[in-house]
Structure 1
Amino acid sequence: MKRGLLFLFACLIFFSAAYAFADSGRECTNCDHSLAPRLWIPDGDPNTDHLPLKSSSADIVIDGPIARVTITQRYRNEGTRPINARYVFPGSTHAAVQSLTMNIGDRIIKAKIKEKEEAKKIYEVAKQAGKHAALLEQKRPNVFMMNVANIMPGDTVELVLQYSELLIPDDGVYQLVYPTVVGPRYGGDPIRATPHNRWIANPYAKDNTDGSNPAQIKTDIHVRIASPIPISDLRSAQHKIVTHWLNDKSAEISLDPSETHTGNRDFILSFRLQGAKINSGLMTYEWNGEHYFLMMAQPPKRVAPTEVMKREYLFVVDVSGSMYGFPLNTASDLMRELLSSLKPQETFNILFFSGGSRVLSPTPLQATPENLQRAMTMMRSIQGGGGTELLPALKTAFAMPRTEDTARSIVVITDGYVDVERQAYDLIKQNLNSTNLFAFGIGSSVNRYLMESMAHAGQGEPFIITGPNDVPGVGARFRRYVDAPVLSHIKIRGNGVELYDTEPSEIPVMLAERPIVIFGKYRNAQPGATLELTGTRATGEYRATLSLDDSNGQADKNQAELLPVLWARQRLMYLSDLQGDDDAHRDEIIRLGLRYSLLTRYTSFVAVDETISNPNGNTTDVKQPLPLPQGVSELAVAQPVPEPSLYWLLLALAVLFASDRLFRKNRHVPH
């Protein structure tokens, strides 16, 4: 009887444990650890509104080369309990976030910029006191988190944040990118998650069978564009748009009414300005006793190389769970395009990575038709699964055998859904050794911060491939960048004026056909002062001179007044590049954030409504679930890691079986 009860109890524990484990990984096959939680499923509790964010709208004004973006988020509590809402959302990698306003009824509360820890304390005190409060934090330069406290039943809270950025054309094409969703990040062991990366565990909602998504937020986007030069070739890469032309230099753009699910992919708007030349110029502005400038200079024409260098290419291809399906199919098309651009005398290899890695060949291969076909056969045989172990893959790549006396380029192909941007940057910087690195981001909502960071560290270029239509021609463009740099040894100096605090302080070799952009400050300007830019190109010396007297000839005050903020954002990007785990530049980042009212890693915006709306102080925390980016498999958010309770259940089961065996053994021991 005792043995039967013991067995029954053990079975109950076992099946409970098995269910817990199955529930934690039910959406996953062949997956590794991830900080992303299980797919979000509504619990049906009518007392709590699980989707407090009802809509998000973006009003974007492109004035010359500067874009101003105003984002309005509307939260509403349709449940019966007071709630605290948390929402993780993306921004442009170059966004200078400079203000936040909270609107409740007819009350307007302007947020204050504070050191991060101080802002968090102010928010928590207001939250406990039952006051409406909002806290905006930066988790990555392109990932932000909004916390809203004490949203009462029936309340509507409107949060308005503003940022600006400089649009820099590449090969004559200007591109505005407005991200709408943060893709899931693979983060290793969730048990060891730090407070800094706990945001990664935000829930994601599964699409319904009809293609709808319970977490799909109503997203509106309106763009107004004005240019001093006629606009041409205006198009949207991933959304249908309606364009109302005011004249040949200005237009208003909105989403087509047929776009009902807009918030699961980046909004990408591109256009050209008529005429072959990029509009070079100098913009200046005085603020708080300091003079700021922005110099944009036309790049020289690319010249074909006279010498053909011996080259080797190592392709590092992400085949993890988040790449399953559409992204991996697009990556396969991209690999075919890149491999076809190789020359027979060049060598190559491929490293495929997910939770582990495998290589095409132990040593580099000649780019013969047979070897290229072998590479594509292996590429097509991989389905995708497992975690995105980028750092081990990069370490393996840098350690792989290489051909002597050959310039090597590493090409990383991934969706970038990892949280190791900083570590990847450091690793690449430490291992260049006559190797440069190019980053290809695949997908509708790529982690652009990772792509740009890796390419910057590797002295290469980032490429974003949103789908198969972006693939044709990318191989030829890649080869132009590799074979024929536009300009090197770039320097700026002032004639009759002193320049200081220029950004970037060291200008890298120019690979792309984009203008040279330099921010800085100046003082002691004499009449007739000029800024002179010099560099080395294939045909000799390059020189561009712009006069301070002619500055702002084509820029209005609205553009120029953003120069201090844009300069500070550029400076913060430089400090971020130097920033390691030791927080060596923390004080300088805080100083810039507070002085220029900018969101940074160490500064946050906090707004508090002094009216007490929730005197009881009882609230329910709600994490706003996100839709999966378009084309991303649910494998990207699977979590086969057992819950802590499962470990205890399994331990109890082991103890029970051990006790049972000891009991039976003791029964047969003669006394």
Structure 2
Amino acid sequence: MAQAAQRNSSFANALSTGQVLQQHIENATASTRGVGGTTSMSVPYQMPPASQVISMKPPVPSGENAAEKVLPSCPTVYAFINDFKLLGNPRWAQDRHEDTQPLGGSHLPPPSVPSLVPLHVNQMNLDVQCHISTAFVTVEGEWELDFVVKGLRCDCVLAVPMSHHGTMTQIEIDMGEGRMYTTLVIPKDEAASYGAGGSVNAGLEEVGSYNPELFRLTVGQVFGGSKLSVRVSWFQPLLFANGFYNVHIPFIIPNAQLARARNKHVVGKIGCTINVGSGGPVVTGAFNHMMRERKRGEGRVELEWDSHSMHDWRNVDFVGSYQVWSQGILPALIVQDSQPGDLDGRGTFCLSLSPPDPRSVTLFMRSVVFLLDRSGSMYGRPVEDARHSLKLALDLLKPEDKFSVIAFDHEQMAFSPALESAHPAKVQMAKDWIDSTCQARGGTDILAPLRQAIAMLDSAVGGVPYVFLITDGAVSDEREICKEMHSVASARGGSAPRISTFGIGHYCNYFFLRMLAVIGRGIADAAFTQDKVKEQMERLLLAASTPLLTNLQLSIPDLPHGCEIYPFPVPDLFCGNPLVISGKFHGTFPPFVEVVGSNPDGSQWSSKVTSNRVPQIPLNRVFVKQQMDLLTARAWLHDDSKLRAQVVDISVKEGVPCEHTVMVGFETTPEKHQELKADLKAGKQANPKKYAVTKYAAIAVVAGLAIGFGSVMLTMNNAPVLDGLSALGDVGTGFGGDGVGCCDFGGCDGCVDCGECGVSGGCDGCGDCGDILDPIGQCCTSFGDCLDLLSALG
């Protein structure tokens, strides 16, 4: 843990010192041009229009920790400066920098290395494709490395902040002069045979090994003066709030970068397409930018902002929404037949059930047991946020609901031995009990409190039974827990308790919690950054507070070979959580399916839903993450190698990394890059060695893209989950991947130049390179030996 904290500090320091060094560079540049200092363009942050449909926090926290303020607020390319000679300034190289000062006379702190200095951004364009419940995002931009001396080269780091469980799928970087950098997803167990450097199995001891909200990729040995044309693509789930699907893309360009931009309009174009997956007009909600409607059709609308025709650009995140709530339950069914090149020759279908406003319908009475992990690893803010969210959940109970709370560690303590009516006085007593009892202590036992909760619910009369499990740990009997809960669900049928789960941090097994929620027809979510714990937990508890239909079943006639459904069994429909079900089928899909469920009054609800074909929506891509996660969870539960192989095939074909594959980055040429794309389009297996050019950079594993299966060891040792949740920890596993180049621009003989031994004869491979390189152990002697540098620096 001490080494992880040191690496976190090193990464934060590199960002912070990069800001200082950036100001020195600007002042020196202005002085060279005969100007006394730099000027600054004032582009204030503008809050979005007041609206009840948008309720999301900025993805980059602004907490007390000053290091959080330097995290990127939009896609950014940094130069990794580890020697002042890269900048061509002999005064800095000789430590004679005390006389450097900015405009206005106030002295800057002295510059230092290593530093991450943002490149000059010339232009960025944003395209967002919202398909049903998933947003596909593409950012294209140009960055210029104009402060590094031409002829010298340094590593650059692409950092992309993403909002809520984003998954990076493709990066293309054109560095000019016939050099390109790209990525490819390959099976994890084949990485070594391709010569890929870096760890494919980063241990959970590396705090923050997974961060779905900040992607980092290192591009080795970029020449000074280069212009980098970057294209990055990722997808993320849309967030549902107050009847609207919302998309949030971090897109605030720092004022310092705007001031340096040569292009008057740094952002040239913003596009947003919405495909709702059903007929009828699209009802859009609030947008942060003044979007113009370009085209509209059934269930589809295209919006855009263009700098050439619209000059009211706002330097804010991209936020938009569209309405989901309708007058009643609105089902929609989209079908796509198998396409050429599909992995298994099966078609894809998607059934969505959009709920109405809960104020217009009758809801189920609930019997609820909340299980809160109070083990020692929850100490500090995690347990405080959990208590706060749990008390909010109690406020959502109706007087006719029944409830109890169980706090667990290696022991269990219940608010009451039986369920209590949710009258205001009793709810307040429970809140007081939570504050006094739910204090971090002890170990972790999940099965015993689950059994106690089910026993409580079995003795209750009336109401749909619900269990909410909140934990930060992994336990050794997870498979046994799933099997026992499956037996409970099979024995009780439609009256079995619904189980929803929420994981906190990197030490819990996300796939265990996901599988448990699937068995229990509930909802699963997890937070991997501290600032998101409270927000996401409250969202899950709110989503599951308004059950509308239970015991849902699909009847799909005339499919002799059956079909696969994700998730299965089908969860309940909540007003706070639209239900989206995807599936794969052989043959010809029938013209309709029938959906059947139970209403709150005990009557049956049913609907025949007509099949529609909407070619504009890439169904395979929309639901590939859901499909892979559920298959991975099943493969974990049953230790099924065939299912794992199926996940790997889907992951490689779709270019979406999973637990059993890795993303590798490598340098190539424009010609080889086109050959790679053609091979992938034809469905050929792509060997990165065939396309890679390793003159400056080896094939390298991009770290931090997989969640992992938790850590029983760290849970048993009560490793503080806060270590893995801090904003610094989330960027602490490296600058993006293990693909890192050596300096190799002077007399360093290919070693890692850390700024302490210098580039002209100081480093002889002794490893005495300062605290920042302690995790490595020794200097390297070639590029291939340096692949873990930035991962260790983090």
Write the letter of the residue equivalent to 1:101.
E
Q: Distance in 2 between matches of 1:621 and 1:63?
A: 30
Q: Distance in 1 between matches of 2:420 and 2:270?
A: 51
1:463-478 superposed matches below 5 A = 478=544
Amino acid at match of 1:151: Q
Equivalent residue, structure 1, for 2:659: 601
Q: CA deviation at 1:348?
A: 1.0
Q: 1:68 Cα shift?
A: 2.3
Q: 2:628 aligns with which of 560, 567, 572?
A: 572
- The corresponding residue for 1:351 is 407
1:86–1:623: 8 Å Cα contact kept in structure 2?
no
Q: Distance in 2 between matches of 1:144 and 1:633?
A: 13
CA apart distance, 1:467: 9.6
**Partner of 1:372: helix, strand, or coil?**
helix
Deviation at 1:366, TM superposition (A): 3.4
Out of 45-54 and 570-579, give the one that drifted further. 45-54
Do the aligned partners of 1:572 and 1:589 also contact (CA within 8 Å) in 2? yes
Does the alignment pair 1:409 with 2:466?
Answer: yes
**Is the 1:224–1:252 contact (alpha carbons within 8 Å) kept by the matching residues of 2?**
yes
**Which amino acid is 2:592 matched to?**
L
CA distance in 2, matches of 1:589, 1:159: 29
| Residue pair 2:393, 2:538 contacting (<8 A) in 1 also | yes
Structure 2 match to 1:118: 190
Shift of the 530–151 alpha-carbon distance from structure 1 to 2, 3 Å rule, reads same
| 1:500-540 Cα shifts (integer Å, max 9, x gaps) | 44332734242324355333234257xxx523223232322
> Of residues 627, 638, 645 in structure 2, which corresponds to 1:587?
645
CA deviation vs aligned residue, 1:16-57 (integer Å, no higher than 9, x gap)? xxxxx9xx49xxxxxxx9998557453765456542776898
C-alpha displacement at 1:362, in angstroms?
A: 7.6
Residues 408 and 449, structure 2, Cα contact 8 Å, conserved in 1: no
Three-state SS of the structure 2 residue aligned to 1:589 is: helix
Deviation at 1:588, TM superposition (A): 1.8
Q: CA deviation at 1:313?
A: 1.5
Q: What residue number does 1:173 align with?
A: 244
1:546 positional shift: 1.8
CA deviation vs aligned residue, 1:380-427 (integer Å, no higher than 9, x gap)? 45898789x7xx25345225474352375332357x6x7x59986874
Secondary structure (helix, strand or coil) at the match of 1:588 reads helix
- Tell me how far apart the structure 1 counterparts of residues 413 and 727 of structure 2 sit (CA, whole Å): 26
- 3-state SS in 2 of match to 1:287: coil
The amino acid that maps onto 2:432 is: T
Contact 1:428 1:458 in 2 (8 A): no
Unpaired runs of at least 5, structure 2: 18-81, 85-112, 200-207, 252-265, 307-311, 489-495, 670-691, 705-720, 733-771, 775-794
Cα-to-partner distance string for 1:563-597 (whole Å, 9 max, x where unaligned):
34446544423311212284623322222233444
Counterpart check, 1:533 vs 2:594: yes
- Distance in 1 (alpha carbons) for counterparts of 2:83 and 2:699: 15
What amino acid maps onto 1:456 in structure 2? V
Distance verdict in 2 for CA 1:103–1:359, change over 3 Å = farther
Superposed, 1:531-570 pairs within 5 Å as 531-538=592-599, 539-540=603-604, 542-547=606-611, 551-552=612-613, 555=614, 557-559=615-617, 562-566=618-622, 568-570=624-626
When normalised by structure 1's length, the TM-score is 0.58
Residues 580-659 of structure 1 mapped to structure 2, 5 A cutoff: 580=636, 582=639, 584=641, 585-610=643-668
SS of equivalent to 2:522: coil
Counterparts in 2 of 1:113 and 1:323: CA distance versus 1, 3 Å: same
**Which structure 2 residues correspond to residues 247-266 of structure 1 after superposition, within 5 A?**
249-252=301-304, 257=314, 259=316
| Alignment-mate amino acid for residue 370 of structure 2 | L
Q: Name the CA shift for 1:221/1:373 in 2 (closer, same or farther; >3 Å).
A: farther
Matched, 1:287 2:339: yes
What secondary structure sits across from 1:601 in the alignment? coil
Instruction: Say whether 1:456 aligns with 2:527.
Output: no
Partner residue in 1 for 2:273: 225
**Residue number among 437, 443, 455 corresponding to 2:499 in the alignment:** 437
Distance 1:413 1:222 in 2: 39
User: Given the superposition, is the C-alpha separation of residues 620 and 470 from structure 1 closer, same or farther in structure 2, using an over 3 Å criterion?
Assistant: closer
d(CA) in 1 for partners of 2:370 and 2:155?
Answer: 51
CA shift, 1:335, in A, is 0.9
Contact 1:139 1:601 in 2 (8 A): no
* Match 2:322 to one of 258, 271, 280: 271
Match of 2:13 in 1: 42
1:335 and 2:391 are equivalent in the alignment: yes
The question of whether the paired residues in 2 share the 8 Å contact of 1:119 and 1:605 is answered with no
The residue aligned with 1:215 is: none
Cα distance change, pair 232–499 in 1 and its aligned pair in 2 (3 A) = same
- Relative to the length of structure 2, the TM-score reads 0.51
Residue 494 (structure 1) aligns with = 557
Note the C-alpha offset of 1:221: 11
Alignment of 1:28-107 (within 5 A): 37=8, 40-42=11-13, 46=83, 49-51=114-116, 59-62=127-130, 67-71=135-139, 82-83=154-155, 93=165, 98-105=169-176, 107=178
State the Cα RMSD in Å: 5.9
Q: 1:35 to 1:85 in 2, by over 3 A?
A: same
Measure, in 1, the Cα distance between the counterparts of 2:325 and 2:416. Answer: 50
Q: What is residue 718 of structure 2 aligned with on the other side? A: none
**Amino acid in structure 1 at the alignment position of 2:467:** I
Structure 1 residues 596-649: Cα deviation after superposition (integer angstroms, max 9, x where no partner): 44433333444533579996889999999xxx99xx76797899xxx9x9xxxx
Aligned-pair distance for 1:365? Answer: 6.3
Mapped partners of 1:294, 1:168: distance in 2: 22
Tell me if the contact between 1:177 and 1:269 (Cα under 8 Å) persists in the aligned partners: yes
Question: Bigger CA drift: 280-289 or 52-61?
Answer: 52-61
* CA distance in 2: counterparts of 1:638 and 1:83, whole angstroms: 18
**Map 1:511-526 → 2, pairs under 5 A:** 511-513=573-575, 514-515=578-579, 517-523=581-587
Instruction: State how 1:124-163 maps to structure 2 within 5 Å.
Output: 124=196, 142=212, 147-152=217-222, 154=224, 159-163=230-234
Q: Is the 8 Å Cα contact of residues 166 and 566 (structure 1) preserved in structure 2?
A: no
Counterpart AA for 1:603? T
Measured in 2, the distance between the counterparts of 1:378 and 1:440 equals 21
Deviation of 1:460 after TM superposition, in Å, equals 1.6
Give the structure 1 partner of residue 90 of structure 2: none
Q: Counting strand residues as a fraction of each chain, which structure ranks higher?
A: 1
Greater length-normalized contact order (CA 8 Å, ≥ 6 residues apart): 1
Given that residues 52 and 85 in structure 1 are in contact (C-alpha distance below 8 angstroms), is that contact kept between their aligned partners in structure 2?
no
Deviation at 1:272, TM superposition (A): 0.6
1:85 CA displacement? 5.4
Q: For the residues of structure 2 that align with 1:112 and 1:623, how far apart are their CA atoms? A: 13
Cα deviation per residue 1:70-89 (whole Å; 9 max; x = unaligned)? 25588887777744859797
Structure 1: 5+ residue runs without aligned partners? Answer: 1-20, 26-32, 128-137, 181-217, 646-671
Q: Give the counterpart letter for 1:42 in structure 2.
A: N
- Deviation of 1:374 (Å): 3.5
Hey, what does 2:427 align to over in structure 1? 372
Distance 1:146 1:605 in 2: 12
Structure 2 equivalent of residue 246 of structure 1: 293
Structure 2 residue identity aligned to 1:490:
Q
Residues 493/330 of structure 1: CA separation in 2 closer, same or farther (3 Å cut):
closer
Partner SS state of residue 508, structure 1: coil
Q: Residue 494 of structure 1: SS of its match in structure 2? A: coil
Q: CA deviation at 1:284?
A: 2.1
